[in-house]
């Protein structure tokens, strides 16, 4: 009994000495361990990030002004348009390479002035290149109705393009292959062409990348060129447009393309332009939708999202940040990104650089691009918190990849973006990482080439988040992850 008391006394003495020298605090190693244990983790399975052969239908459109949003190379698109040709389905490498083209084009547009040249004909030899945004990155397809009687056509929607067009018969020069039959204006009772010499033609002519009023036809002709070798040229026209369950718009202005060269639109019939311009779809339908639209990008290629027009049904959980205008990029929607939070820890050192950088939101740029100094801090923090997984080889522009072949479920630190006005976006797990293979995933962010390149908030970071564009109020809203 005496020896036990002696042992207890000795243990208490040693413990007291330990506490005295540590001043009652944990060691740095213990603090770091505690910090990691307190990280807000997101869990997912790698299979959820990889392509599936089964389409998961949308739970239900919000209202009659909603359209199903389908990824152009997923199984949902195959069900709608027939089985896809495996040779035309892009690989992960292809998609990331195309993403580089989109990013490069946005950066080029910001710093360069364009010269449209002098084009006299509809032939492709006179269509300029390296103008505007590339179309080969177009990812999401919606279906709208053209004409009377209505013909359903699949269009790529793009928030950075101001001008809508479709392919039209008789395709005087050239049309590319599309899934549905090409629209025939002669079979619609509500189709008309825009004539030269009227005010609306002048407004349109100031919009297209190039335009003219040739004396032989007296018809207003548009010529829109995009980055690379893609273009569309044809007649400016009016037609009845049908959205959702019977919402019709008479005299909708669009391009009826007679010479179209686009190689990667996934069989879509044309473009639905939702950019910031007086003749974009958003502006033309302002009396009905008050310049408001929203979308939910699906978490994977095998699921369906929605594109909705109008403010009815917008969640009360949406938080808004101001929309800004970027010089040389007036059709894009500018935003202010002021901070980042990784695993619950604010990256305070990146705030000054982010706050001083210009930024845009884009639906067809894939991954978010950050200034190199900001990305370096994000990468370092993410790697520290993911140290339980062995690293894998970089994949195209993604340099922080992991071998997760031994895991059914993967834990990743939660990442949040802070926008102007203190708005915080909590990213979904599918917005933090990309599956680059059956056993590998990568951090879905990348560095810009230069510190002064514009920051781009890509589509991956917007997945499962209700994104609301209120152009009338000049604000952009974001719901919580999984909100749609």
- Cβ–Cβ under 8 Å, residues 158 and 138: yes
The whole-angstrom separation of Cα 103 and Cα 371 is 13
The whole-angstrom separation of Cα 412 and Cα 356 is 29
Closest CA to 265 of 167, 333, 332: 167
- The H or E element containing residue 193 is strand 192-193
The residue assigned the tokens 């005496």 is: 2
184 is catalytic: no
For residue 219, the SS3 value is strand
158 is catalytic: yes
Structure-block tokens of residue 343: 């695993």
- Say which of 362, 426, 428, 453 is annotated catalytic: 362
CB contact set of 67 (below 8 Å; sequence gap of 6+): 61, 142, 143, 144, 243, 244, 306, 307, 308
Angle at 459 between CA 469 and CA 372, to 5 degrees: 110
Q: Is 316 exposed, middle or buried, given 0-12, 13-18 or 19+ CB atoms closer than 10 A?
A: exposed
Pairing state of beta strands 401-403 and 440-443? antiparallel
C-alpha to C-alpha distances, 48 to 44, 54, 300, 410, nearest whole angstrom? 7, 12, 7, 11
- Say which of 94, 152, 158, 452 is annotated catalytic: 158
The whole-angstrom separation of Cα 83 and Cα 360 is 35
For residue 379, the SS3 value is helix
List the beta bridge partners of residue 307: 67, 295
- The H or E element containing residue 332 is strand 329-335
The whole-angstrom separation of Cα 350 and Cα 417 is 12
CB contact set of 85 (below 8 Å; sequence gap of 6+): none
The whole-angstrom separation of Cα 201 and Cα 395 is 48
User: What is the DSSP secondary-structure string of 271-293?
Assistant: EEE-SSSTTSHHHHTHHHHTTEE
The whole-angstrom separation of Cα 379 and Cα 376 is 5
As annotated, the active-site residues are 158, 362
């Amino acid at each position: 009994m005496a020896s036990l008391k002696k042992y207890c006394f000795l243990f208490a003495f040693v413990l007291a000495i330990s506490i005295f020298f540590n001043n009652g605090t944990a060691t740095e190693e213990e603090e770091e361990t505690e910090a990691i244990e307190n990280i807000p983790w997101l869990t997912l399975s790698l299979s959820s990030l990889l392509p599936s052969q089964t389409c998961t239908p949308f739970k239900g459109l919000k209202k009659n002004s909603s359209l199903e949003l389908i990824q152009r190379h997923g199984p949902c698109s195959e069900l709608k348009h027939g089985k896809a040709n495996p040779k035309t389905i892009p690989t992960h490498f292809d998609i990331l390479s195309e993403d580089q083209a989109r990013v490069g084009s946005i950066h080029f547009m910001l710093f360069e002035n364009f010269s449209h040249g002098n084009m006299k004909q509809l032939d492709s030899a006179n269509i300029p290149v390296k103008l505007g945004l590339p179309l080969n990155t177009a990812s999401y397809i919606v279906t709208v109705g053209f004409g009377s009687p209505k013909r359903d056509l699949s269009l790529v929607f793009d928030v950075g393009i101001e001008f809508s067009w479709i392919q039209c018969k008789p395709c005087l020069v050239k049309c590319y292959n599309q899934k549905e039959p090409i629209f025939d204006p002669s079979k619609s009772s509500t189709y008309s062409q825009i004539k030269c010499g009227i005010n609306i033609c002048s407004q349109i002519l100031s919009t297209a990348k190039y335009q003219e009023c040739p004396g032989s036809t007296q018809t207003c002709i548009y010529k829109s060129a995009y980055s690379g070798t893609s273009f569309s040229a044809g007649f400016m026209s009016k037609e009845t447009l049908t959205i959702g369950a019977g919402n019709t718009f008479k005299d909708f202005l669009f391009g009826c393309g007679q010479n179209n060269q686009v190689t990667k639109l996934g069989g879509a019939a044309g473009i639905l332009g939702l950019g910031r311009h007086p003749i974009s779809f958003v502006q033309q339908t302002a009396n009905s939708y008050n310049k408001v639209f929203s979308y939910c990008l699906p978490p994977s290629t095998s699921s369906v999202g929605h594109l909705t027009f109008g403010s009815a049904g917008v969640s009360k959980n949406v938080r808004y940040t101001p929309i800004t205008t970027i010089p040389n990029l007036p059709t894009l929607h500018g935003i202010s990104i002021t901070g980042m939070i990784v695993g619950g820890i604010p990256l305070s050192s990146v705030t000054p650089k982010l706050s001083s950088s210009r930024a845009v939101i884009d639906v067809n740029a894939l991954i978010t691009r950050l200034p190199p100094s900001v990305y370096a801090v994000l990468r370092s923090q993410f790697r520290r918190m993911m140290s339980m997984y062995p690293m894998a080889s970089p994949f195209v522009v993604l340099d922080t990849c992991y071998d997760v072949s031994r895991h059914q479920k993967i834990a990743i630190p939660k990442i949040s973006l802070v926008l102007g006005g203190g708005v915080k976006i909590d990213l979904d797990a599918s917005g933090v990482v990309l599956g680059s293979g059956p056993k590998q995933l990568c951090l879905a962010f990348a560095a810009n080439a230069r510190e002064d390149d514009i920051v781009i908030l890509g589509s991956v970071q917007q997945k499962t988040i209700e994104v609301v564009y209120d152009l009338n109020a000049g604000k952009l809203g974001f719901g919580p992850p999984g909100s749609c």
